[in-house]
Amino acid sequence: MTHQKAIFVPGHGVPEAVRSVRFVPRKAPAGGPNVFPDRPSATAPPPVVEIWPGDLYGEPGDRMLTSFSTSERTETVFPEDGMPVVPPGKSLVAVIREPPAGWEVEFYSTFTDRGGKTVPRTVTIDNYGTAHESLDVRKV
């Protein structure tokens, strides 16, 4: 069983509440090469995405928060009273089992800055490990 991980860490030295995690599979272009030749894309099972609390190095903890299986763009929204809060020195790990040829995981979180303002943060990580961060101080 193959798997890949996307690791979310707080980026501003304060705890962050993760509001949602979105999985976005990328389809291989028609006639394009199959990145995983041992797993034909047409018959591959849908990937399973597991969300775990993790340590600083992205190793999953002992208690899975949620999991889902999908071949489509899917978002898990945590309830207001059940959002995982990720403190500095810890992580939130998305483990993608039987991943497609390409994918992105988008973590949407909020944190409180030193001025007391709530700041939304979106971190997008792809199957190559490339991460993009955006902050929007106008929202919330």
81: left (phi over 0), alpha (psi -120 to 50) or beta: alpha
In this prediction the pTM is 0.85
pLDDT at 105: 96
Other CB atoms within 10 Å distance of the CB of residue 100: 20
Listed residue (122, 130, 127, 138) closest to 22, CA to CA: 122
1 pLDDT above the threshold of 70: no
- What percent helix, strand, coil does the chain show, rounded to 5? 0, 50, 50
User: Where are the domains positioned within the chain?
Assistant: 3-28+39-135
Choice between 79 and 41, residue whose per-residue pLDDT is larger:
79
Residue 60 to residue 53: CA distance in whole angstroms: 6
84 pLDDT above the threshold of 80: yes
89: left (phi over 0), alpha (psi -120 to 50) or beta: left
Q: Which CATH architecture has domain 3-28+39-135?
A: Sandwich (2.60)
